[in-house]
Amino acid sequence: MGTVGGGTVSVLSRNAQEIARRAGRGIHISHAAAREYDPSLPGVSDIDRISDDAWAVVDDPEVAIVIELIGGYSPAKELVLKAIENGKHVVTANKALIALHGNEIFSAAQEKGVTVAFEAAVAGGIPIIKAVREGLAANQIEWIAGIINGTGNFILTEMRDKGREFADVLAEAQALGYAEADPTFDVEGIDAAHKLTILSAIAFGIPLQFDKTYTEGITRIEPQDVAFAEELGYRIKHLGITRKTPTGIEMRVHPTLIPERRLIANVDGVMNAVLVYGDAVGPTLYYGAGAGAEPTASAVIADVVDVVRALTTDPGNRVPHLAFQPDKLSSLAILPMEEVETAYYLRIQVQDVAGMLARVAGMLAEEGISIEAVKQQEPAPGESEVPLVMLTHRVREKRMDRAITRIEAFEGIRTPVIRIRVEHLG
C-alpha cells in the first residue's frame, strides 16, 4: 500500500457504491500486505486483515483477485505466478514485469483459465490498453506514437520554456518527486521502452519482446537543440514509436522532433499522451495523467471491475491478454534500428571556414541523404567554431550512421554529431 496501493484503497472506498453498480457486485479488500502504510488512509479500516506477508495473500483461499502493486521483477513475478497457480485472477500496474515476463505469465494464466489485467502498466490513468485492445478491435493499427514517461516530458518542457540545462531540471524533478534518486529508467528511456513493448504487442498481435526495443535517452539534449528545433517549427519530445511496415515491426524510444502544430507536440509537463493510427478510424489521441496515486488507481480498479464482470464467463470467451487469440500471434520480425527509415535533425560543430557547409552536404549526398533545411549562425566574438544545423529528408538509419561516421572523421569537425530523429506523424 504505497503510492498506487494507497490510492487504490482510497478510491475503492470512496466510490464503493458506484463501482458496485458498474461491476454488478461489491468489491471488498479482504487481505492486504504492506511493510508500511498510513492507518489513517481512507478505506484502510475496512480491510479485514493487513500483514507484511505477501505470500499469505496469494495463498488465501478467500481471495478471488490479487492486485500486485509492488513493482520491479522480484518478488512480483513469483507472487503473480503463485497467484495464477492458485487459480486467482491478477491485476497489476507493473510494466517492467509484463514487458519482460508477460509471455510466461500470460501462458500460465491461459492454462489456469484466469485473467491477468494490466491497464495501469501503461500511461497511468489513460485507458490506452482498453482503447487499443477493445475499442479499436475493428482496425488494423498502422502505428502508435506516445509520450509515455512524465519525468522526461517535464524535463524537456522546462528546457524549452525556460532555456534551462538538463541537469538543472533533473535535479528539480527529483526534488518534486517526479524522478527517482536514480533517474536512469526515466531519462534513458527504459521505463518508456517497457510500456512501448506492451503497446506494440497489443497493437500488432506479436509476443512481448522488450530486448528488441531500441532505447535512447534524453541526457544529450542541450538547450540549443531545443531552441533550434523551435526556430525550425518543431518541438523535441521523448517518444515511444511502434509501426508496422512490410518488412517488420519498428519498436523504438528516442528523442524526436515533431512539428509544433501537432497536438501531441503541445503535451507539456508530466502529462502523457498516446497517438494511435488505425486504418478505419484514422488518428486518435489519448491524453491524461501518466502517474500518481489516484490516476493510476483509476486504471487498477477499472481492471478489477472488468475481472469481476467476467468471473462467470467461459475463459475461452474473455478478451485475450494481448488482444489476439494466443494461437493467432504473429511471427513478424522486429526491425533493427539500422533498418528504420525516418528524417533527422543534425547539429554539427564546425570550424568557421569557407566551404564547410558544402563539404558536409557533399558527404550526406554521397550516402543518398538529401537536405530539407539548413541553419548556420555567425560565430560569437572570439569563437572559431559554429553550430551547423540540418534537417534531412527520410532515409534509412544505416545510411545516416555511415554519413555521421564520415562527418565525425573529417578534420574540421571537433565534437560528435548530435542526431535527433524527426517524425511528422501525419
pLDDT in tens, the chain (426 residues): 888 999 999 999 999 999 988 888 899 999 999 999 999 999 999 999 999 999 999 999 999 999 999 999 999 999 999 999 999 999 999 999 999 999 999 999 999 999 999 999 999 899 999 999 999 999 999 999 999 999 999 999 999 999 999 999 999 999 988 888 899 999 999 999 999 999 999 999 999 999 999 999 999 999 999 999 999 999 999 999 999 999 999 999 999 999 999 999 999 999 999 999 999 999 999 999 988 889 999 999 999 999 988 886 667 666 667 667 688 788 889 999 999 999 999 999 988 787 888 999 999 999 999 999 998 877 777 777 888 999 999 999 999 999 999 999 988 787 899 999 999 997
Angle, CA of 125, 330 and 142, to the nearest 5°: 55
Alpha helices in 75-123 (DSSP H): 76-85, 95-112
Cα maximum dimension of the chain: 79
DSSP 417: P
State the DSSP string of 259-295: ETTSGGGG--TTEEEEEEEETTTEEEEEEEE-SSHHH
Q: What are the backbone angles phi and psi of residue 287, rounded to the nearest 5°?
A: -130, 140
Q: What are the backbone angles phi and psi of residue 400, rounded to the nearest 5°?
A: -65, -40
| All domains in the chain, ordered by first residue | 3-124+293-328 (3.40.50.720), 128-289 (3.30.360.10), 340-422 (3.30.70.260)
Predicted local confidence at residue 377, as pLDDT: 76
Residues 179-205: tens digit of each pLDDT: 888 999 999 999 999 999 999 999 999
Predicted local confidence at residue 139, as pLDDT: 97
Query: Element (H or E) spanning 210, and its range?
Result: none
Q: Are 292 and 172 in contact (CB under 8 A)?
A: no
Predicted local confidence at residue 239, as pLDDT: 98
Q: Are 288 and 126 in contact (CB under 8 A)?
A: yes
Predicted local confidence at residue 323, as pLDDT: 62
Look up residue 147 and give its three cell numbers: 509520450
pTM of the complete model:
0.90
Q: In the block, which residue shows the cell 514517461?
A: 149
Predicted local confidence at residue 294, as pLDDT: 92
Separation in Å, CA 15 to CA 9, 39, 44, 121, 302: 10, 19, 14, 22, 12
Per-residue three-class SS string for 131-160: HHHHHCCCCCEEEEEEECCHHHHHHHHHHH
Look up residue 186 and give its three cell numbers: 526515466
Measured in whole angstroms, the distance separating CA 301 from the mean position of its chain's CA atoms is: 21
Long-range contacts of 327-332 (CB under 8 A, 24+ apart): 328/205, 329/205, 329/206, 329/207, 330/204, 330/205, 330/206, 331/206, 332/204, 332/206, 332/244, 332/248, 332/249
Q: Are 66 and 89 in contact (CB under 8 A)?
A: yes
- Coil, strand or helix: which one is 313? coil
- Coil, strand or helix: which one is 219? coil
Question: Is 195 considered catalytic here?
Answer: yes
Query: Element (H or E) spanning 39, and its range?
Result: none
Q: Which of 195, 237, 244, 328 is catalytic?
A: 195
Which residue, 247, 244, 285, is CA-closest to 267? 285
Which residue, 156, 366, 374, is CA-closest to 257? 156
Residue 90's DSSP bridge partners are 66, 116
Predicted local confidence at residue 21, as pLDDT: 87
Cα separation, 211 vs 91, in Å, equals 24
Predicted local confidence at residue 312, as pLDDT: 67
377, amino acid identity: Q
Look up residue 129 and give its three cell numbers: 490498453
Cα separation, 253 vs 324, in Å, equals 24
Residues 283-312: tens digit of each pLDDT: 999 999 988 889 999 999 999 999 988 886
- Coil, strand or helix: which one is 418? strand
Q: In the block, which residue shows the cell 513475478?
A: 77
Predicted local confidence at residue 10, as pLDDT: 95
Q: Are 97 and 106 in contact (CB under 8 A)?
A: no
User: What value does the CA radius of gyration of the chain take, rounded to a whole number of Å?
Assistant: 24
Cα separation, 83 vs 86, in Å, equals 5
Predicted local confidence at residue 397, as pLDDT: 96
4, amino acid identity: V
Cα separation, 348 vs 407, in Å, equals 9
Q: Are strands 89-92 and 116-117 parallel, antiparallel or unpaired?
A: parallel
